[in-house]
Structures are given as C-alpha cells and as structure tokens.
A and B are shown apart, each in its own frame.
Chain A
Amino acid sequence: QQQVKQSPQSLIVQKGGIPIINCAYENTAFDYFPWYQQFPGKGPALLIAIRPDVSEKKEGRFTISFNKSAKQFSLHIMDSQPGDSATYFCAASPHTGTASKLTFGTGTRLQVTL
C-alpha cells in the first residue's frame, strides 16, 4: 500500500530551469512533509520540510507548495544547477512531538544539464 505517491519518476532540465516534483498522500493523520535529497552512494539528507498550517515555504532556491484540501505537495527548485542532480524523495509522517516513522515516496531522479 503506497501511502505517498510521487511523480515524475525522472526529470531532465537545463541549467537555470525550474524542475517541479509532485507528491500526493492519503493518510489524513500525516502532518509533517519533508523532502530529502540523495546522491549516489549516500544516505538521504533533509532539504526542506513543511507543516500543513502554511501553504508555502521557501529556503534558498527550494520551495514547497502545500495543498491540504487536495492532499498534495510539491517541490520547486529555482535556478537549478548541475550540482542539484540527485534523487529527491518526498515523505510524510504524523508529528507527535516525538520521533515518528517517515513514509517515503518512490523518488524522482533529477538531472540538470549544462
């Protein structure tokens, strides 16, 4: 049972472009939505996260847009660079004040070309 659906599976953009990765969730108990970035041979690392009390969050070139009624959220990468080439995972968890397990999407492999 896939509780977090992610698309597209892969994405190629030119340097300076704005890749957009989309995720949808089913479990209404989820209230914490992070995005993780993973380079080959490395573990995932937190990029940016949002809680459902806001509709958008920006950190540097990365923006999360959140639509609570549609149960969807997306990652936008502004002015993308070749160094952004990596696999991106959306995730979700209930936030209980203590550590909670994350449910991950299937990942989007992003390639930024020169």
Chain B
Amino acid sequence: GAGVSQSPRYKVAKRGQDVALRCDPISGHVSLFWYQQALGQGPEFLTYFQNEAQLDKSGLPSDRFFAERPEGSVSTLKIQRTQQEDSAVYLCASSLRRDRRYTGELFFGEGSRLTVL
C-alpha cells in the first residue's frame, strides 16, 4: 500500500491478556518507530528500528512491552499481561528510504486503539 498500515485498528483486551499490534511500513522505508498516544496527549516515543535492528527501546514503559522487526519490514508490538494503564492509541511511523536523503519526516499510520478492561 501507499501508506503505513496498522492492524487491528481497535482492540479490546481483558486485564492480563497478551496483545499483538502489527505495523506494515511504507515500502522501502528503513526506519520504523512506535509511539504511544494517551487520550488528549501527544505521541510518546516507545522504540525505534533501523532495518531489523532495534536501536533504541528507551521509551518502552516496562518489560511487558516487546517489539520486533525480524526481516526489516513488518513490525509487531507485543504487550504481555495488559494493564488498564496500557489503554492508548499505538502509532507506528516509518521514514528514510535507502536511496534518498533523510528529510526528517515521519509517516504515521492511523494507529491501533487498545482498550484494556
């Protein structure tokens, strides 16, 4: 597709369940970011990949959060033993084509809204 695709768009989980959120970046983009956006707040950085390498995971709030991008394309954000405070929109963004100069622009998907009951 032309843009960043995220699935599912909406996820309701019971407290304690594990969830997996998928991100399909723009084809050819080497950089991939995950952000968490709480209601009425700005996006907050979670983690960053360049190709398959996770270069920064300083924003992951706890060891219940895990992200991977094994082949340098699709990424999955996994949240284990979900808690109510995990309820938020999880945004994926990609950037930086291999053959072009980096402009600074991040291209965001529409997000996955997680509600933990």
**Which stretch, A58-66, A70-78, A96-104, touches the partner chain B?**
A96-104
B43 x A44 contact (CB < 8 A) = yes
B96 x A43 contact (CB < 8 A) = no
B104 x A106 contact (CB < 8 A) = no
B54 CB within 8 Å of chain A: no
A68 CB within 8 Å of chain B: no
Choose among B56, B102, B105 the residue that contacts A97 (Cβ–Cβ < 8 A). Answer: B102
Q: What range describes how many residues of A lie at the interface?
A: 20 to 34
B86 CB within 8 Å of chain A: no
**What 0/1 pattern do residues 82 to 104 of B give for CB contact below 8 A with A?**
00000000010101100000101
Q: Which residues of B contact A98 (CB under 8 A)?
A: 31, 50, 96, 102
Tell me, rounded to whole Å, the shortest Cβ–Cβ distance linking B32 to chain A.
Answer: 9
A106 x B102 contact (CB < 8 A) = no
Smallest CB gap from B46: residue in A: A101
Q: Which residues of A contact B95 (CB under 8 A)?
A: 99
Tell me, rounded to whole Å, the shortest Cβ–Cβ distance linking A35 to chain B.
Answer: 12
Q: Which residues of A contact B65 (CB under 8 A)?
A: none
A99 touching B50 in the complex, CB below 8 Å, given contacts A34-B105, A49-B104, A107-B41: yes
Most buried by A among B42, B48, B59, B95: B42
Report how many A-B pairs have Cβ atoms within 8 Å: 60
Q: What range describes how many residues of B lie at the interface?
A: 20 to 34
A25 CB within 8 Å of chain B: no
B110 x A42 contact (CB < 8 A) = yes
In angstroms, Cα B115 to Cα A68, docked, is 41
In angstroms, Cα B45 to Cα A99, docked, is 13
B42 x A43 contact (CB < 8 A) = no
Choose among A34, A42, A89 the residue that contacts B104 (Cβ–Cβ < 8 A). Answer: A34
A95 CB within 8 Å of chain B: yes
Smallest CB gap from A101: residue in B: B45
In angstroms, Cα B55 to Cα A99, docked, is 11
A12 CB within 8 Å of chain B: no
Residues on B facing A (Cβ under 8 Å): 4, 30-31, 33, 40-45, 48, 50, 56, 59, 91, 93, 95-96, 102, 104-106, 108-111
- The 8 A-B pairs of least Cβ separation, nearest first, read A43-B108, A99-B31, A104-B42, A101-B45, A46-B105, A99-B96, A99-B95, A106-B42
